[in-house]
Amino acid sequence: MLGDSHVQALLAARHPDPFSVLGLHPEEDGQMWLRVVWPSVAAIDVLDAKTGKKLVGLNHRDPDGFFEAPIPRRKQRFAYRLKLYDPQGLVFGEVADAYAFGPQLPEAELLALKAGRHPRPYTVLGAHAVVQQGVPGVRFAVWAPTAKRVSVVGDFNQWDGRRHPMRYRHEAGVWEIFVPHVIEGDLYKFEVLSRDGRLLPLKADPYARAAQLRPDNASKVAPMPPVRKLPQGRADANRRDAPISIYEVHAPSWRRLGSGPFPSWDDLAEALPAYVADMGFTHVELLPITEHPYDGSWGYQTLGQYAASARFGSPDGLARFVDACHARGLGVLLDWVPAHFPSDGHGLAQFDGTALYEYGDPREGVHRDWNTLIPNFGRYEVREFLVGSALFWTERYAVDGLRVDAVASMLYRDYSRPSGEWVPNVHGGRENLEAIALLQQVNRVLGTEAPGSVTIAEESTAFPKVSAPTDVGGLGFHYKWNMGWMNDTLAYMREDPVHRRWHHDKMTFGLVYAFNENFVLPISHDEVVHGKGSMIAKMPGDDWQRFANLRAYYGFMWGHPGKKLLFMGQEFAQPDEWHHDAHLPWRRLDDPRHAGVQALVRDLNRVYRTQPALHRLDCEAEGFEWIARDEADTSVLAWVRRDGQGHAVIVACNFTPVPREGYRLGVPPGASAWREVLNTDSSHYGGSNVGNRDAALPVENLPAHGRDLSIVMTLPPLATVYLVAV
The answer to whether 253 touches 268, Cβ cutoff 8 Å, is: no
Phi then psi for residue 615, to 5 deg, are -140, -25
The CA distance from 584 to 256, in Å, is: 9
Whether 458 is catalytic is yes
> Based on C-alpha coordinates, what's the Rg of the chain?
31
- What is the bridge-based pairing of β-strands 372-373 and 479-481? unpaired
DSSP letter string, 178-201: EEET--TT-EEEEEEE-TTS-BPP
Instruction: Give the bridge partners for 673, in sequence order.
Output: 698
The answer to whether 211 touches 219, Cβ cutoff 8 Å, is: yes
Whether 27 is catalytic is no
The CA distance from 618 to 635, in Å, is: 24
Edge-to-edge strand list for the sheet holding 59-62: 23-26, 32-37, 66-71, 59-62
Q: What is the 3-state secondary structure (H, E, C) of 41-82?
A: CCEEEEEECCCCCEEEECEEEECCCEEEEEECCCCCCCCEEE
- What H or E segment, with its residue span, contains residue 85? strand 80-85
* Separation of first and last alpha carbons in the chain: 97
HSE-CB of 519 using CA atoms within 13 angstroms: 28
Of 384, 434, 458, 676, catalytic: 458
Q: Is the dihedral of CA 18, 24, 25, 29 positive or negative?
A: positive
Q: Residue 629: left if φ>0, alpha if ψ -120 to 50, beta else—which one? A: alpha
Of 405, 459, 571, 577, catalytic: 405
The CA distance from 654 to 379, in Å, is: 54
Strand segments (E) across 123-169: 126-132, 135-143, 149-154, 167-169
The CA distance from 266 to 319, in Å, is: 10
Using alpha carbons only, what angle is made at residue 474 by residues 472 and 475, rounded to the nearest 5 degrees? 145
Q: Is 232 exposed, middle or buried (0-12, 13-18, 19+ CB in 10 A)?
A: exposed
The CA distance from 414 to 421, in Å, is: 8
Q: Which residues are catalytic?
A: 405, 458
